[in-house]
Amino acid sequence: MPRLACKTIPLLLAGAAACGSSGWFPDDVDPGATLASAGDAAAAKVCDAFEDYLLDQYRGSLFVEVACTALGIEQSETAAACGDFVDDCINDPPAEVQTLVATIVAGVGCEAIEYASSGCGKTLSDLRACLDAASREVTELRYTITCGLAGQPLPPGALTIDQPPECTSLELACPLPV
C-alpha cells in the first residue's frame, strides 16, 4: 500500500506535508485500530483525508507562498525584486506554481512513507502522528525559503525536509517485504 523509500522528503520534487492539528482525521475511523486490523481501506481513507485537508488549507497559501518564493529567488537579483515577484505570483499563480503545489501535496502524505500495513501493530493514530509531524516540518519552510536568498542559487537541500522520527518509527516497525 503506501510507500516511500527516502529519509529526506524533497519539497518541490517529490513532496512534503503541512497542517496544524489533526482536525482532518476522519471521524468514522478508529485511531486506536492497528494498521493490520484496520486494513488498507482505512489507511487509504486517512491518507485521502489528509491530502484533501492539505489541498483545502494550503493550495492558496503556504505551498503557494513557498513555491512563489522559490521561483522568485531563482528569477530575481534582489530581495526587493523577489518580494515584488512573490506578491504578484501569490495574487496570480502561474501554472508552474499550481503544478508545484500539486506535486508537494501528492508527495507529502502517505506516498512519502514506506510501510506495510499487513501484520503491522502500529495504529492509525501513529500514522496521524507521522503526517502531523511532517506538516509541521513543511510549515517551517516558510521561514527558511525567503527572498533574502535572491540573486544566488538556492542552497542544496533548501527545498527538502527530513523525514520526521514519527514516520521513521512507522517504517521501522512495519517494513515493506523484501
DSSP element (H, E) containing 37: helix 35-58
42-53 in b/e burial notation, b at 16+ Cβ within 10 A?
bbebbbebbbeb
34 contacts 13 by C-beta, under 8 angstroms: no
| Segments of the chain scoring below 70 in pLDDT | 1-22, 55-60, 100, 102-108
Render pLDDT for 28-48 as a digit per residue (tens, 0 to 9): 999 999 999 999 999 999 988
E strands along the chain, which residues?
A: 8-10, 160-162
Query: What is the average pLDDT value for the chain, to the nearest integer?
Result: 79
**pLDDT, position 45:** 93
DSSP 34: B
